[in-house]
Amino acid sequence: MWPVVLLLALGVPSPEVRAAHAELDAVAARIEQLKARHAEGEDVGAELHRLLVRAQELSYVIERASAPAPRPPVVAPSPEELHERADEGRDEADRIAAMLDGLDTRIAALRRAEAAAPAPLRRVRPDEATFASAAPADRGVPPGPSPRLRALLAHRAMLAERLVAVQKEIARLEAEAARLEASP
């Protein structure tokens, strides 16, 4: 049993296929001989027709043996399974929402800390030292968000996108379950 399975797994043709190939090669050689004799004027129509039919039969045997096995039909999930998947999605949505709440708390704390810290003063080069550079508009301009805050905001955006995708999947699963339950 195992040698046959191993041969099939390796793509080695079965003895039936090898025999069909050998017979097909012999039939093809005989067909070529008959074509040459027909070109010389001999009447070989009946034998040529018989060999052409046999060649077709052999090619069918080879194709059938080398064709991949048909795939089993796809079975649609039951409404109960769809409801279970939707429940799993709701659990994931709850986890993501909790992570978003934690991130919102960290972002708010970091924003408060950055607002309470004194803004760094911009260093003025000697060639910029004019009265215009000392104007009130130049002082107190807060720098952009810190790299840490930018990273937290990017992570929050990614989680929010994921939450929306999970919620859409939950709605799709519930709609599919309802459709299956409504159909006879």
Write out pLDDT tens, residues 124-174.
566 655 555 554 444 544 567 888 999 999 999 999 999 999 999 999 999
- Residue ranges making up the domain that contains 33: 11-66
Q: Which residues contact 37 (CB under 8 A, 6 or more apart)?
A: 44
80 and 47 both lie in a single domain? no
pLDDT (0 to 100) of residue 51: 85
pTM for the full model? 0.50
In a domain, 124, yes or no: no
Kindly indicate the confidence band of residue 14, based on its pLDDT and cuts at 50, 70 and 90.
Answer: confident
105 and 61 both lie in a single domain? no
**CB-facing half-sphere around the CA of 138: CA atoms within 13 A:** 12
Across 72-101, b (16+ Cβ under 10 Å) vs e yields: eeeeeeebeebbebbeebeebbeebeeebe
Give the C-alpha distances (Å, rounded to integers) separating 19 from 7, 15, 50, 147: 16, 6, 19, 72
17 and 49 both lie in a single domain? yes
22 and 100 both lie in a single domain? no
In a domain, 49, yes or no: yes
Torsion angles phi and psi, residue 140, rounded to 5: 75, 15
Q: Could you count the other beta carbons within 10 Å of the beta carbon of residue 159? A: 17
151 and 77 both lie in a single domain? yes
| 43-52, 68-77, 174-183: which is most confident | 174-183
151 and 104 both lie in a single domain? yes
81 and 55 both lie in a single domain? no
CA distance 38 to 151: 83
More confident residue, 155 or 123: 155
Q: What is the mean pLDDT of residues 42-68?
A: 83
